Amino acid sequence: MSRPTLRRRLTTLTAAAVAVAVVGVSVAAWLLLRFEMRDDARANLESHAAVYITRLDPIRLQSPPSWVRADVSTLFGEVTPSGHGHKPVFQTTSLPVTSSDVAVALGESGPQIRDIEVNRVHYLMLTAHTVRGDAVQLANDMSGMDSTLAHFAVLLGGADIVAIVIAAALGYALTVAGLRPVYRVAGAAAHVAATQDLGAAVPISAWETAEVASVAASMNHMLTALSLSRDAQRRLVEDASHELATPLTSLRTNVDLLLRAERNPQRQLDAEDRRRLLSDIEAQMGELDHLVEEVVDLARDPGNIGETVELDLAAVVRAAVTRARTRTPEVTFTLADEPVTVSGRRSGLERAVLNLLDNAAKWSPPDEPVTVEVSCRDGSAAVVVADRGPGVPESERELVFERFRRTADSRAQPGSGLGLAIVREVVMAHGGRAWLVPRAGGGTEAHIQLPTQRISVRPSEGDATHSE
């Protein structure tokens, strides 16, 4: 079964709302008319009964009184204290007598007014106590009122049906007109889905309603974000393929040389050349492995940190330093830290710090240590990684954080040009910033600044300054 369209649903809801309102008003009007007509009939009975209560006995009447209308049948009766009912001589029908009427005749109850049926005709009857010590009964024929109310109900029902049909038609027309901008947005979305044209923005007119304009603007923002993401992915693939080509070409050349030497015994390589080729292949494989690892990290979007937890940043940095010492045992790392709590993803922050350590180890002279400091400065968590390398020119300190961007001096060194890009993306995703400054006495300081959490770290994670 197909789902109901929004247009049909809105039309149905509009018609239902109008139906409830119209029917409610009609029922209220009918009840008000009935109340007024019955109130008039009751007042008429009470005014005429006053005469027979104090002066006249209706049983002694020889003919109907002058005020009795020919088109309205009026019946008279009398109830004795013993419970017997009497009627005038000119009247063929007696009015019913009940215990409540006898109670009125005995003076034990006040006037009673109720609906009765005599010969299948609806009457409104009043029973009132008289000065003679009995009760008089007067009943008015209500069939005329019933007929009026029935005709009025028919007219109201017909008017309600016409009003509901008109409301449904108007609701449908207004719904179609109101949803036209929505259909336009849906058409634009379908066009994007069919053509993959993320630049096809949804136009927003000046007369557009706020809700539709908001939906269109949100869709345009989504298309812009998707377009930027696709462009970034395309650039990543293009840059990665370009960067991968260099180590692959060098690796292929060295492997070809070894294979030719194996196939031609007369052109055998000496031990030194063979060792050098194998060392080059090993270095190229390491470079290629490192490049692939960083490309995969970027493809996973390091800026999307996912679920965060409270971390001791000092513990994260210590873990990164331990990994860096394993990877580059020839470099000395010194660490000074103090506990500081941040909110984030441990693996992402550890990778960012490790990239800074690898970068510093690559440029630091063999006899100079890489210093690492973790502290809380001005309400923020700070990580500083300092080396004694050649430094980064001022004009390139921001450019090195771009993907595959490498300085002129770094092109002779192994690396992918992605390490610092990953650092900045991870740090920015955690609400912080990363930058480079020259180190006093030569070298570079890489800074990371992150917002801290108010909750203190657990004692097991360290509660005092730690030095290594």
Question: Per residue in 337-382, pLDDT tens?
Answer: 899 999 988 888 988 898 899 888 888 888 889 999 999 988 899 9
Q: Which of 68-72, 329-333, 380-384 has the lowest mean pLDDT?
A: 68-72
Neighbours of 278 (CB within 10 A): 12
Burial class (CB in 10 A: 0-12, 13-18, 19+), 296: exposed
Higher per-residue confidence, 332 vs 68: 332
Reported as a pLDDT band with limits 50, 70 and 90, residue 459 is very low
Query: SS3 helix, strand, coil % of the chain, rounded to 5?
Result: 55, 15, 30
pTM for the whole structure? 0.47
Can you give the pLDDT at residue 402? Answer: 79
Can you give the pLDDT at residue 394? Answer: 82
Can you give the pLDDT at residue 467? Answer: 42
Question: Helix, strand, or coil here: 2?
Answer: coil
pLDDT of 384 strictly over 90: yes
Can you give the pLDDT at residue 387? Answer: 92
- pLDDT tens digits for range 18-54: 889 999 999 999 999 999 999 999 998 998 888 888 8
Q: Which of 96-100, 169-173, 190-194, 437-441 has the lowest mean pLDDT?
A: 190-194
Can you give the pLDDT at residue 466? Answer: 42
- Average pLDDT in the 408-425 region? 64
Can you give the pLDDT at residue 417? Answer: 63
pLDDT of 139 strictly over 60: yes
Reported as a pLDDT band with limits 50, 70 and 90, residue 233 is confident
pLDDT of 83 strictly over 60: yes
pLDDT of 103 strictly over 60: yes
Percentage of the chain with pLDDT > 70? 83
- pLDDT tens digits for range 177-209: 777 777 777 777 777 777 777 766 777 766 666
- Cβ contact 319:333 at 8 Å: no
pLDDT of 247 strictly over 60: yes
Can you give the pLDDT at residue 460? Answer: 34
Q: Which of 87-91, 274-278, 401-405 has the lowest mean pLDDT?
A: 401-405
Q: Which of 99-113, 276-290, 313-327, 432-446 has the lowest mean pLDDT?
A: 276-290
Can you give the pLDDT at residue 72? Answer: 63
H-helix segments, 71-209: 99-105, 143-195
Determine the Cα angle at 325 with ends 319 and 329, to 5°.
170
Phi, psi torsion values for 285, nearest 5 degrees = -65, -40
pLDDT of 107 strictly over 60: yes
DSSP string, 381-441: EEEEEEE-SS---GGGTTGGGSTT---TGGGGS---S-HHHHHHHHHHHTT-EEEEEEPTT
Can you give the pLDDT at residue 308? Answer: 78
- Average pLDDT in the 445-468 region? 57
Across 14-33, b (16+ Cβ under 10 Å) vs e yields bbeebbeebeeebeeebeeb
DSSP string, 182-211: HHHHHHHHHHHHHH--TT-PPP--TT--HH
| CA–CA distances in Å: residue 400 to residues 18, 235, 300, 390 | 67, 17, 21, 15
pLDDT of 301 strictly over 60: no
Residue 132's contacts (CB-CB under 8 Å, 6 or more residues apart) are 57
Can you give the pLDDT at residue 328? Answer: 85
* Sheet of 466-467, strands arranged across: 433-438, 444-451, 380-387, 370-377, 333-337, 466-467
